[in-house]
């Protein structure tokens, strides 16, 4: 009930040797503060491939029935980007929630991640197929390498991920917890675009250099821990900004992230009220001064980044 429409018309993407035809269909932007229902397309990040919904639902450290109920609620509220991982031990619960939801599978952008211990070729192939079985899906929209790994050369890992794309069981690939140098190397190695890099990003832990790199190359920077593991909700400085819009500190921090063009955010919570509140970030817009004030809470260099992102 809280997601908005934005983005260019849908297009099929041809990624190297892999033709991807199942894509989201965002419509023309109406207004930056428009509040829409759960059946509307999500605000998205354009990449060198898919349109990735800007607001996702994270599931790290939520397992079993708690995870299933949380994902069911998120889908009812309007989230269309669900993030899981082999490491989280919750792919079965996530898959059951998606299967039992009234939302069509094709309308949900499902992300999972290869455990760094599974980086060798055969382990990538077998573990990803096991992930698909647990999720109960024929394909996953985005497969990430969860972190740099010393179990196999990156060429071997990405080669296996490319082969899974060729088989049609993975639509797009990316990485997680990669710095600029590693991301650039991954992009050079992969036969298909690296469309996302999932990293920790919140007002107190900024990613200016990485975001500048991603924004210039159609790579989505997906922000995990966007609420700084519970530190954001108690920040009086963010709450003061939020008071102007009848919003909470957490909603201001999430708005700060999703208002940055190349950024998606995946807050996690098992609480109904928080699931709903975290989604209510598309009916207001921070000013340039407020964006800078939030950035001042961290260690980044905002002025140059804001200019690069067109936020000044």
Distance from the Cα of residue 57 to its chain's centroid: 8
pLDDT digit string, tens, across residues 220-231: 999 999 999 999
Among 88, 201, 213, 224, the one annotated catalytic = 88
Q: CATH number of the domain at 54-295, out of 3.40.50.720, 3.40.980.10, 3.20.20.100, 2.40.50.140?
A: 3.20.20.100
Mean pLDDT of 219-244: 98
Residue 60 confidence (pLDDT) above 80: yes
Q: Catalytic residue at 79?
A: no
Residue 71 confidence (pLDDT) above 90: yes
pLDDT value for 28: 34
pLDDT value for 41: 52
Nearest to 267 by CA among 183, 200, 185: 200
Distance CA 65, CA 140 (A): 22
Residue 96 confidence (pLDDT) above 90: yes
Pairing of strands 263-265, 18-20: unpaired
Residue 30 confidence (pLDDT) above 80: no
pLDDT digit string, tens, across residues 200-219: 999 999 999 999 999 999 99
Residue 81 confidence (pLDDT) above 80: yes
Domain boundaries, the chain: 54-295
Strand partners, 200: 224
Instruction: Identify the band that residue 180 occupies on the pLDDT scale cut at 50, 70 and 90.
Output: very high
- Maximum CA extent, the chain: 54
Q: What is the 3-state secondary structure (H, E, C) of the chain?
A: CCECCCCCCCCCEEECCEEECCCCCCCCCCCCCCCECCCCCCCEEECCCCEEECECEECCCCCHHHHHHHHHHHHHHCCCEEECCHHHCCHHHHHHHHHHCCCCHHHCEEEEEECHHHCCHHHHHHHHHHHHHHHCCCCEEEEEECCCCCCCCHHHHHHHHHHHHHHCCEEEEEEECCCHHHHHHHHHHCCCCEEEEEEECECCECCHHHHHHHHCCCCEEEEECCCHHHCHHHCHHHHHHHHCCCCCHHHHHHHHHHCCCCEEECCCCCCHHHHHHHHCCCCCCCCHHHHHHHHCCCCCCHHHHHHHHCCC
pLDDT value for 301: 83
Tokens of 68: 């299933």
Angstrom CA distances, 80 to 24, 90, 147, 189, stand at 10, 18, 24, 30
pLDDT digit string, tens, across residues 264-273: 999 999 999 9
Mean pLDDT of 25-50: 56
pLDDT value for 142: 98
pLDDT digit string, tens, across residues 123-171: 999 999 999 999 999 999 999 999 999 999 999 999 999 999 999 999 9
Report how far apart the first and last C-alpha atoms of the chain are (Å, whole number).
Answer: 30
Average model confidence (pLDDT) for the chain? 89
pLDDT digit string, tens, across residues 118-131: 999 999 999 999 99
């Amino acid at each position: 009930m809280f997601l908005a429409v934005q983005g260019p018309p849908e297009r099929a993407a041809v990624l190297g040797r892999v033709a991807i035809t199942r894509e989201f269909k965002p419509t023309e932007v109406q207004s930056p503060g428009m509040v829409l229902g759960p059946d509307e397309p999500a605000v998205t990040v354009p990449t060198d491939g898919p349109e990735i919904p800007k607001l996702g639902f994270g599931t790290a450290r939520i397992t079993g029935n708690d995870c299933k109920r949380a994902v069911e609620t998120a889908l009812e509220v309007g989230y269309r980007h669900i993030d899981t991982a082999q490491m989280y031990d919750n792919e079965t619960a996530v898959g059951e929630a998606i299967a039992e939801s009234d939302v069509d599978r094709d309308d949900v952008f499902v992300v999972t991640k290869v455990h760094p211990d599974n980086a060798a070729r055969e382990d990538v192939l077998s573990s990803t197929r096991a992930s698909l079985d647990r999720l109960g899906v024929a394909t996953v929209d985005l497969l990430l390498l969860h972190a740099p790994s010393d179990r196999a050369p990156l060429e071997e890992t990405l080669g296996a991920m490319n082969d899974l794309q060729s088989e049609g069981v993975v639509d797009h690939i990316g990485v997680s917890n990669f710095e600029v140098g590693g991301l650039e190397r991954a992009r050079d190695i992969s036969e298909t675009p690296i469309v996302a890099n999932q990293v920790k990003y919140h007002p107190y832990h900024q990613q200016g250099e990485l975001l500048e790199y991603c924004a210039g190359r159609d790579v989505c920077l997906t922000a995990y821990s966007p609420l700084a593991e519970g530190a954001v909700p108690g920040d009086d400085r963010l709450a003061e900004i939020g008071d102007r819009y009848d919003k909470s500190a957490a909603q201001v921090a999430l708005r700060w992230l999703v208002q940055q063009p190349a950024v998606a955010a995946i807050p996690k919570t098992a609480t109904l009220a928080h699931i709903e509140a975290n989604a209510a970030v598309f009916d207001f817009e921070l000013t340039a001064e407020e964006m800078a004030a939030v950035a001042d809470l961290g260690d980044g260099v905002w002025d140059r980044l804001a200019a690069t992102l067109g936020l000044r």
